[in-house]
Amino acid sequence: MTNSERFTYEMIESKFDTTSFDPTPYIKSTLLDHSLREKLVKNVIDGKNHINYYFNSYLIIERASLLEPTLFYPYWEDFWQLHAHKNSYHRRIAHDLVSHLVACDIENKFSNIKDDYLGMIETEKISNLLIMLQNAIRVAQITPLEALPALFSKLENLPHLTDKQKQRISKLHREYETAS
């Protein structure tokens, strides 16, 4: 994208039919255009369109919210409502996006959901569990997560996990201890 070129929602939407979607070119436009952000957020929250619509919209928002979380803070409740969704993609989206928004949580919203935020990790399939643990490590750098060490210990001893899965959790536990 050149400095003067901006992408409209329609231009971005036309790229959603690919399974190898790259959100990078659309991040700047998303940061600059409130209307575009609204449409992308609606795709994620509604989740009614094809998976490519909500997931590719999420990919753009995920990257943009890392850069400018304050632009997405007004959607905190909308994102968090997905944490109870039956679809694991939606639950992960909730966890990821709220993790980014903690950086600008001037209303201390995270304190009201902290227990649910950590509690949902242990009920997830391993792929989501690992990503959510990475999120929690990042959040713990911003706000205390007193229950996180105990959660790591519990997860490392779950009998239904394979040794490889437990090793991956242990590696994240060491990263957390190093970062703390």
pLDDT one digit per residue (tens) for the chain, 180 residues: 455 579 999 999 999 988 789 999 999 999 999 999 999 999 999 877 778 889 999 999 999 999 999 999 999 999 999 999 998 989 999 999 999 999 999 999 999 999 999 999 988 899 999 999 999 999 999 999 999 999 999 999 999 999 999 999 999 999 999 987
Question: Tokens for 103?
Answer: 């950086």
pLDDT of residue 70: 98
Judge if 145 and 89 occupy the same domain.
Answer: yes
Judge if 93 and 175 occupy the same domain.
Answer: yes
Query: CA–CA separation, 168 vs 99, rounded Å?
Result: 21
Judge if 56 and 102 occupy the same domain.
Answer: no
pLDDT of residue 4: 53
Query: CA–CA separation, 110 vs 103, rounded Å?
Result: 10
Question: Which of 63, 97, 54 lies closest to 78 in space, CA to CA?
Answer: 97
Judge if 122 and 145 occupy the same domain.
Answer: yes
pLDDT of residue 82: 95
How many structural domains are present in the chain? 2
11 contacts: CB under 8 Å, gap ≥ 6: none
The answer to whether residues 98 and 61 touch, using CB atoms and an 8 Å cutoff, is no
Answer with the one of 67, 101, 124 that is the final residue of a domain. 67
pLDDT of residue 52: 85
Judge if 8 and 56 occupy the same domain.
Answer: yes
Judge if 31 and 92 occupy the same domain.
Answer: no
Answer with the one of 34, 67, 100 that is the final residue of a domain. 67
Whole domain around residue 148: which residue ranges? 76-180
pLDDT of residue 1: 45
Judge if 114 and 176 occupy the same domain.
Answer: yes
Q: What is the pLDDT of residues 9-55, one digit of tens each?
A: 999 999 998 878 999 999 999 999 999 999 999 999 987 777 888 99
Secondary structure class of 106 (helix, strand, coil): coil
Query: CA–CA separation, 166 vs 126, rounded Å?
Result: 10
Judge if 50 and 135 occupy the same domain.
Answer: no
180 contacts: CB under 8 Å, gap ≥ 6: 140
Judge if 148 and 178 occupy the same domain.
Answer: yes
What pTM does this model have? 0.91
pLDDT of residue 131: 94
Judge if 63 and 80 occupy the same domain.
Answer: no
